[in-house]
Structure 1
Amino acid sequence: MVVGDARLKRHSGWSEVVYHSITGMLGAGVLGLPSVFSHLGWAGGIIMLVFSLWVSWYTYLLLARMHEVPDLDNKAGNGVRRLDRYDQLSCYVLGPRKGKLALLPFQLIVLIGVAITYTVVGGDSLRAFAHFITPNLAMGKWSFYIIFGAVQLMLSMLPTFNELSMVSLLGAVMSVAYCVIAIVMSARVHPAKGTVNYAPEAVERTPIERTMGIFNALTTVLFAYGGHNMALEIQATLPINEQHKSSVPRMERAVHMTFVVTALAYLLVSIFGFYAFGTSVADNVLLTFSHGPTSWVVAMTDMFVVVHVLAAYQVYINPVFIMCEASLARRTRGGSVNVIVQTLLRMSLVVGVTVVAVLIPFFGSLMGLFGAIGITPTTFTLPPLLWLMLKQPAKWSFDWCQNWFLVIITGLMGVLGTIGALYGIINAASTYHLFAN
């Protein structure tokens, strides 16, 4: 007997899990990774990228392995309980009250924060494409955020991950495509010796700017790994039956494939982007190519970015819909939410996300902020902590030491990154005017 959410449709294969995961993991944040090197340098940037890739892969596997636990209500049998959402896992390990307090605030920050950031990058990319087609277009960037939000209103009417399969597949293809273009475009740049600066210390910055830049760079890298927040929801779509006694082996295979693609994209975009432009690289590496004979390629890539973030937005916002609808269902007599209430709830969330994006359109600093206060705890800190509490490895064993090291070091990185990101947003806000072009 396998216990789980009876309302879920569990008919995905591991390949569908791969492109859901790639769409969620390989996001627009990859385009900001070369700028991280402008604060950390070659050595610091590569070390941080490799470390974060390893930790992210490891913690994703931890979540996958905690998806199935013994069914405590069926002790006499061989029952398996499936923890279909991250909050279910947290509550299972920590108890209902502590579990919600430990996870939900951070998870909601990630899911909604990434949706806000993707509205910004999607609107900016749509605006860049429109200006390539019509250079004298007078519409402000806020107009494109609203257009992006309107498309999301329509996509948000799709009820579950199963209905999002083709959207996620298209998003995964687009994300790989714009990463390949960014790599090829950067590789074609052959800077003359001495014309590009690769030393962060050579850039004129005050000590506080240099320190805050390093802090923000650390969590800009961490922002690239928000996929953990949908890991259990994605794994929940895998069936358990006579052929497949557990979902874990297929999920692990999908995780390995996802991280092979992710690692190649992150490392190559970062290294080639920084090699081409050094410390002068833009927050979004594609913006560095926005003028010149290859501008049409950049315009095409901008549309790839738009399509990808349209899909990735849905992967992130869908768990929020599920949580809100489940909360409402518990408060109704029939235990369900009617279509009208469901539609109004989803519309309200998308409109709210769009309004916030219009008010805080700072892509680079938003990446650092949400990476620090949301993605760091839920991706890097909480999985090893839950593993320690659930599996209880022997004190001072390798498993115990490794997981406590990750809890402490990633928690510290989150604190430092929050400080750096807030500093960046305050500085950016001082020159921003609402409804500006």
Structure 2
Amino acid sequence: MSTVLLWVAGVLAAAVGVAVSIALHELGHLLPAKRFGVKVTQYMVGFGPTLWSRRRGETEYGVKAVPLGGYIRMIGMFPPGPDGRLRASSTGRWALMAEEARQASFVEIGPGEEQRAFYRQPVWKRIVIMAGGPLVNLVLGFVLTGVALSAIGLPTGASTTVGVVQRCVLPADTTATTCPADVDPTPGAAAGLRPGDVFVSFDGQPVTGWVQLSRLIREAGGRQVSFVVERDGQPVTLTTTPLLTQRPALDADGRATGGTVEAGFLGVSPTATLERVPVGQVPGIVLDQLAGTAGIVLNLPQRLYGVAQAAFGTQARDPEGPIGIVGIGRLAGELNAEDSLSGNAFAERAGRLVSLLAGLNVALFVFNVVPLLPFDGGHIAGALWEVVKKAVFRLRRRPDPGPVDVAKAMPLAYGVSILLVGMSVLLLYADIVRPVTLNQ
């Protein structure tokens, strides 16, 4: 398959993955809401104009044009004002915003449906409903990470199969990408090694792994040795003299320790093997992702300032910074079009895309638990404050204060929404003119 087709396939796979993640997030709200008897009038994936919808019972299910989120619409999201009415007690701008939110919340409450309003539910039910969406994303983050790392694996282990045979010996500081006519071939190329050859023995010793083979090659620098490879199922004996040159110093496990030593050089690289991470390590990896994403959210103004500097100036884009939906699609395309490092290209590419979607779901969880409206965390914070407020009133032997008037936070919610729109526009522009790429 061509690189372009692989890139397009990666983008489409990411788009489907994002849509499914959003749909499951909203399902995490929908199912407990219906289980608790709350009337849900809409279940939508996306925002803006409706592309498709169908009514099932009392709920309209549909897909909208802008794939930047989704929502479910429940009746009675906000309680009446302190006087029990929907009219604002003040004509101020903030009070009018709260009044509009209450009126929109009550417009769909029909006769006899008062007890099915969201605000009428016990605090614990409201928390379960609002936390259901983010928790679905968190569970998806764990599951997808486990699939990518423990079921598929990472292309990290070096096998004894030849992946690349360098054609010539080039100076370390050269920028040349082809072999000049007057440059000597590498010992591996001169011996006739080919990609796909599997080392069986080297200098009379059976080969058990790449680290051991690398050590044997380094020790054989400057002297002629014979070795056996398996090619097309048949043993082939070859002869070479590893070039004695300055090489990075390695420890017993084949890791660079810093500095250089004089050692043998053959000019071959192995294929990678897909090494599976033990399932027990997955929670720690996801927790590290949560901490990293939370750090980005806590420093979001600074991060967005860096994105703006990159988009409108000459500063490099931070690969660890926030990216938008276009950036996610581009990364997915690049990940799918990257050459395979192992012998299983399909599994390796699938693992890359699944890992990307796992990280996306972790990010969705973190953003949605931010304790501000319009995030789910804003409603959760309001419910928790209600618990605290009622406990204080009980201790003081005062009457039940009733539900917390979350509608009073609507001015802040509008402000946060405006900032989110601005952030989305900035990331969209930056993802187009200065995208995050794999090789930056």
TM-score, scaled relative to structure 2: 0.19
Select the structure that is richer in helix.
Answer: 1
TM-score, scaled relative to structure 1: 0.19
* Larger RCO, structures 1/2 (Cα 8 Å, 6+ apart): 1
Select the structure that is richer in strand.
Answer: 2
Give 1 or 2 for the bigger CA radius of gyration: 2
